[in-house]
Chain A
Amino acid sequence: MKILVSVKRVPDPYAKITPSATGADINRDGLQMAVNPFDEIALEEAIRLKEAGKASEVVAVSIGGAESQEQLRTALAMGADRAILVQTDALLDAPSVAKILAAVYQREQPQLVLMGKQAIDMDENQVGQMLAAQLHLPQATFASKITLENGSAIVERETDNGIETIKTPLPAVITADLRLNEPRYVALTGIVRARSKPLETLTPADLGVQVQTRMRLVKVEAPPARKAGKRVSDVHELVRLLREEARVI
């Protein structure tokens, strides 16, 4: 069984993000970039399935500029077998990203697509669902546990109402939530070995995809700051202020 995992290049989750001087983007000077943490979890899951003998090949795919090779190298170092960069500097919205991934799916014919539920830069949480819809595949979003058996996946999903369990035949699109697993630390041997693994570069045109972007980010600003309030000396003062000043209890 082949698993396709999408990998987005995003700012490091612990980096401080500020608006750029023009306010049209974020400040990217010296910004550390990383694999989207949710994609790292999806990759880890795919690699574990391969290690458990349930998958035969793990293919990582990223869409973006040449610099996204870095994140694909990380994916290869973690244990993906090969990688595909769909190289483009075009402005893409989520439906366009999903269209390109759908074309990669058609070319690769995997039995499972695993991806993060959300990219931590734009936080849209859309691409997996759009991809599944475009391919007419079932979907299981926000997975916190995946069990494969007899051509189906039993997936525990993190919902606002609790853990929901669904069963879906494969092929399907599954998106990873944080508690699915803890991604491994990449060993030095993996980094060395990754250099010889195949990384193919394609363009959207090679895949026959024409993208049309209907949504664009025009301004980035800091949210209104909350000012720090006062320190109270004990619970009596706290309860008095909550009652008399804030009037919330």
Chain B
Amino acid sequence: MKILIVAETDGGRVSEKTLPAIAFAQQQSPNNFAILAIGENLQCIETLTGYGAQAVLTVSHPALTKPLAERYAPVIAHHAHQLGADAIVATTTTFSRDVLARTAGLLDAPMLSDIIALESANGKLVAKRPIYSANLIGTFEVEGSPVVMTVRGPAWGKPTPTSAESPVQSAEAPPDIPQRAEWLGLQGGSGGRPDLTQARVVVSGGRPLKDPETFEKYIGGLADALGGAVGATRAAVDSGIAPNELQVGQTGKTVAPELYIAVAVSGSVQHLAGMKDSKVIVAINTDPEAPIFQVADYGLVADLYQVLPELTELVKNSRA
């Protein structure tokens, strides 16, 4: 199987979010994968080398300075076609959901979203992926080539460094990239904290955190003491307590850190969908019956306002 990995970029730099897709390719087709990175004068290309890709293709073009699906999809389709790729793969993110599904549309290719396992049997690919808000796992059979795939980051982990070279080559953009949609701006950013989907520790807060200041003081404070990222429930985001991009769950991000601390989070199925693969889960909640305790390795029935300051201090001291 020849795999073309699409690197996640914001048009200016390559993101480490690409790494699980590389790990996927190493497992599925270690000697036959290439990586395509699109943007203009891309930084951090070295994120992609050293993992055994046969080539790291970079496409640089002034129309590609921002990751607009309408512009990126034809570039991917063009190179997938040129390489004769059997699979076009990226890590599941909003970037890949937007861009790769459009690529599948251009190529009239079937697409597997957010897969956690893949094998081939009798000329068909057989993939597993979460369905029904990750309440169930579905096994899908797909025929044809190419197949477009997004792979669930936590299921594939990090790639193994190899000594094989991965030559970086510049590649052409196809002519006539459509340029109807325009990029106007981006608001957000993690404020210097680690990226939520990459962090080793995530501290998440729910609706009872009242307002942005309280949320930042308690949840942000504990996260900083642990060197971790901050997450939130949809209820917290909807109440204006936390910014949208911190939402964890079915309609937010999927995370699987080594340690996930859920503070005043009830544990709805939609929230669990985004964090239940975390290695160690801690729940702090006043309600002993809260569903979050059913998935927690360590549960503390307590009022967050009473215990979080002390917990934050203890963590600071134990790490000092």
Binding site for B on A (CB under 8 A): 11, 13, 17-19, 26, 93-95, 98, 118, 120-126, 128-134, 136, 138-142, 144, 154, 157-169, 172, 177-179, 214-223, 226, 228-236, 238-239, 241-243, 246, 248-249
Contacts and interface: CB of A to CB of B under 8 A. Distances in A.
B187 interface: yes
A198 to B, nearest CB: 30
A226 B140 contact: no
Contact of A139 (B69, B113, B302): B69
Contacts of B185: 164-165
Given A216-B140, A223-B137, A231-B299, A123 B280 contact: no
B98 A141 contact: yes
Contacts of B111: 94-95, 124, 126, 130
B300 A234 contact: yes
B258 interface: yes
B253 A160 contact: yes
The 9 closest A-B pairs by CB, nearest first: A162-B188, A133-B105, A129-B101, A130-B105, A229-B297, A219-B139, A168-B181, A165-B184, A138-B181
Given A123-B133, A239-B314, A248-B280, A129 B69 contact: yes
B186 A161 contact: yes
A92 to B, nearest CB: 12
A222 B136 contact: yes
A223 B136 CA distance: 6
Nearest to A163: B187
Nearest to B143: A214
Contacts of A160: 17, 93-95, 197, 245, 253
Interface string B228-270: 0000001001100001110000110100001100000000001
Contacts of B93: 160
Interface stretch (B46-54, B166-174, B288-296): B288-296
Contacts of A134: 105
A238 B224 CA distance: 18
Interface in B165-218: 178, 180-189, 197, 201
Nearest to A128: B101
A215 B141 contact: yes
A123 B296 CA distance: 25
B116 to A, nearest CB: 9
B102 interface: yes
B72 to A, nearest CB: 11
